[in-house]
Amino acid sequence: MPRINAATVADHRATQHAALLSAAMEILVADGPAALTPAAVGARVGLARSSVYRYFSSTADILAQLVEDAIPRWAERLAGATAGEAGPAARIRAFGEVTLSFVTHPDYALLRALTSVELPQECQNRLDQLHETLIAPLRDIVAEAGHERPDLVAHLGWAILGEAQRRLAAGADPEPTTSTTLAVLCRALLP
């Protein structure tokens, strides 16, 4: 029987789950998605692989749970950044700045990992839902600016930011890449 180091079994499980997610993220950042396995995650925290399967059913499940943990944080950051600005141009710029800052955060390793594995359809569907929460603040801004098709315009804006993220991740000079991207984004999204 494993030793429980918490007031309750539920507290112990929550602590173990958090430690496993943290270990999984460390592996992704340090060694890439190919190194992420239930056995590697368990080894990082001192649990047998069979014990890890109490928390995750597979590597795809580990990734899915990491995404469930990370995307709400980024969605909150995006919503907070855009809520504090006056005028659509300032709000679009704030959205763009936060989106581009994602590249320098360890969570960006999730994006690389997600493109390298085939997720089960239910995981892909949930990822699509979560992705929409990231775009929602931009959709709201362009709707308020008077676009007839705010969803399409917001997704096009997201594509512009995605290309800038790709370039930044590949080593592009951050200042001109960011300033040019934000200028293009504002021109493209404001009627």
| Full domain range(s) for residue 126 | 59-189
Residues 44, 112, single domain; the answer is no
- C-alpha 170/C-alpha 164 separation (Å) is 10
Q: Which amino acid is at 31?
A: D
Model pTM greater than 0.85? no
What is the domain-level CATH number for residue 32?
A: 1.10.10
Q: What is the pLDDT tens value at each position of the chain, 191 positions in all?
A: 456 565 677 777 888 999 999 999 999 888 888 898 999 999 999 998 889 999 998 888 888 888 888 889 999 999 999 997 789 999 999 999 999 999 998 888 887 777 777 777 887 888 889 889 999 999 999 999 999 999 999 999 999 999 999 999 999 999 999 999 999 999 999 98
Q: Is 161 helix (H, G, I), strand (E, B) or coil?
A: helix
- C-alpha 18/C-alpha 37 separation (Å) is 16
Considering 56, 79, 103, which residue would you say is the last residue of a domain?
56
Considering 37, 56, 75, which residue would you say is the last residue of a domain?
56
